[in-house]
Homo-oligomer: A and B are copies of this chain.
Amino acid sequence: MNRGFTQQDAAGRLRHLITLDGLPRGLLVELLDRAQEYAGRPGELAPRGSDLAGWTVANLFAEPSTRTRASFELAAVRLGADPINLDVMLSSRAKGESIIDTIYTLQEMQVDVFVIRDAEPGIHEYVARHVGDHVAVISGGEAHVSHPTQGLLDALTIRQCKGGFDGLVVTITGDIRHSRVARSAHRALATLGAAEIRIVAPPEFMPDAAEFSGARRYESFDQAIDGADVVMMLRIQRERAIGAAQADPVRYHQQYGLTAERLARAKPQAIVMHPGPMNRGVELTSDVADGPQSVIRRQVANGVAVRMAVLAHLADARRRRGA
């Protein structure tokens, strides 16, 4: 983020949620605690609240049908907000000024929260710098840079399964270089105190040396998974892999795919994660995806809970600020 911009208000509460970078451990724990309250049980009606009664939440997603858009919409509705969906990719507009004109227009319609997914780095912060004091911006995904609610839901899932982060070894595998999921997970886990974060990928998919500070880098998945508590698989974006030697899914799977055999090298109770949607047979085999160590479905459920927690926190912070 640029100098002089902060996501937090004077009391340390969130004004926006654009990145997990720089957020203190206490704030992340508070969000996870709140999300835990919203984590429903299968077969029961979804947990609800009224923290956002009277609020308007605008979802600005270029692709309206994504699971993340649905997750945010349900989170807003279940807290009593009115959602409004707009198929808008801000950065694809012709002129820079019109981005902010679009935002001003919606703000004038008394939209209280903008949830934005965009492929252009920096656009979320740009919007956040320009909105009124009472309006919050939440990132629903920013290029390869940041996906903070995904990082939080990953952390919540790990905490539910492992009781905490102390001493945990987390192995992240896949196209780390282009992954906002990996960046936000790394940031969440580092802040929450995971003992060791390992990253492993084909050379083309490894991030620059300056990134993922503190993480241990591996070339061999077999070595990287050895003794892991958490195995986090990333989606392979076929379009991004073009030209990469590893683009061949069969070869990729041989070296970096998660199989039952490979999973046996992790700790016996290790959990398997994936942000979805999965390419079964590429990133992991179906027996692993559907096996007893998989927590992939629980991640989805936690996604709604985390988004409810973020929205409720933002509403609470605004009320306390009197904005």
Residues of A in contact with B (beta carbons under 8 Å apart)? 40, 42-46, 48, 54-56, 64-65, 67, 70-71, 73-74, 77-78, 82, 84, 86-88, 95, 97-98, 101-102, 104-110, 112, 132-134, 276-278, 280, 286, 297-298, 300-301, 303-304, 323
CB contacts (< 8 Å) of A104 on chain B: these are: 297, 300
Q: How far is the CB of A85 from chain B (nearest CB, A)?
A: 9
A56 touches B43 (CB 8 A): no
CB contacts (< 8 Å) of A278 on chain B: these are: 97-98, 101
Copies in the complex: 3
Complex Cα–Cα for A77 and B298 (A): 28
B70 touches A77 (CB 8 A): no
User: Known interface pairs A101-B278, A104-B297, A105-B276. Does A134 touch B42 (Cβ–Cβ under 8 Å)?
Assistant: yes
B43 touches A54 (CB 8 A): no
Tell me which of B43, B86, B97, B132 contacts A43 (CB under 8 A).
B132
Shortest 7 CB-CB contacts between residues of A and residues of B? A108-B300, A46-B110, A43-B134, A45-B54, A108-B301, A97-B280, A108-B297
Complex Cα–Cα for A87 and B67 (A): 11
User: Known interface pairs A42-B132, A109-B70, A110-B40. Does A97 touch B303 (Cβ–Cβ under 8 Å)?
Assistant: no
Complex Cα–Cα for A104 and B301 (A): 10
A65 touches B88 (CB 8 A): yes
A95 touches B297 (CB 8 A): no
Complex Cα–Cα for A304 and B109 (A): 6
A101 touches B65 (CB 8 A): no
User: Known interface pairs A45-B112, A77-B82, A82-B77. Does A105 touch B67 (Cβ–Cβ under 8 Å)?
Assistant: yes
Known: A56-B74, A105-B276. 7 other contacts (CB 8 A): A45-B110, A67-B105, A70-B106, A74-B110, A102-B277, A108-B300, A109-B303
A110 touches B65 (CB 8 A): no
User: Known interface pairs A277-B101, A304-B110. Does A56 touch B64 (Cβ–Cβ under 8 Å)?
Assistant: no
Q: How far is the CB of A270 from chain B (nearest CB, A)?
A: 21
A64, A77, A110, A304 interface centre (most CB from chain B within 10 Å): A110
Q: How far is the CB of A42 from chain B (nearest CB, A)?
A: 6
Q: How far is the CB of A116 from chain B (nearest CB, A)?
A: 15
